[in-house]
Amino acid sequence: MSIDQNTAAKVAKLARIKVEEEALPALASEFNTILGFIEQLAEVDVEGVEPMVSVTPMRLKRRTDVVTDGNMQAKVLANAPDAREGFFAVPKVVE
């Protein structure tokens, strides 16, 4: 499997990271190095092996489905780059 510039551009888009056109060849080449390394996994016989879901064989704790926290609008917004009238503000999404 070899990654070309178009695939690199597509991955960057999916990851929502702007990559300039001229940086794509180097990026594709780095991906290929890493994926070449990962490719070794194809040698392993994984027939009938369950994919790991949890490394510790224990049932996750459950709790009653009730509100345990809240009423901290100011704290939630305290670190926002742009907060107005009690909300996060972003560029216009809907025309």
Tell me which residues touch another protein (CB under 8 A). Answer: 3, 7-8, 11-12, 14-19, 27, 30-31, 33-35, 37-44, 46, 49-56, 58, 60-61, 63, 72, 75-76, 78-82, 88, 90-93
Residue 28 to residue 23: CA distance in whole angstroms: 9
Nearer to another protein, 60 or 67 (CB): 60
Residue 68 to residue 64: CA distance in whole angstroms: 10
Nearer to another protein, 25 or 76 (CB): 76
Q: How far is the CB of 29 from another protein (least distance, A)?
A: 9
Q: How many residues does the chain have?
A: 95
Report which of 26, 23, 28, 25 is spatially closest to residue 11, judged by C-alpha positions: 28
Q: How far is the CB of 3 from another protein (least distance, A)?
A: 8
Q: What is the DSSP string of 46-76?
A: -TTPPPPS-SS--PPP---S-------HHHH
Q: How far is the CB of 46 from another protein (least distance, A)?
A: 4
Q: How far is the CB of 25 from another protein (least distance, A)?
A: 14
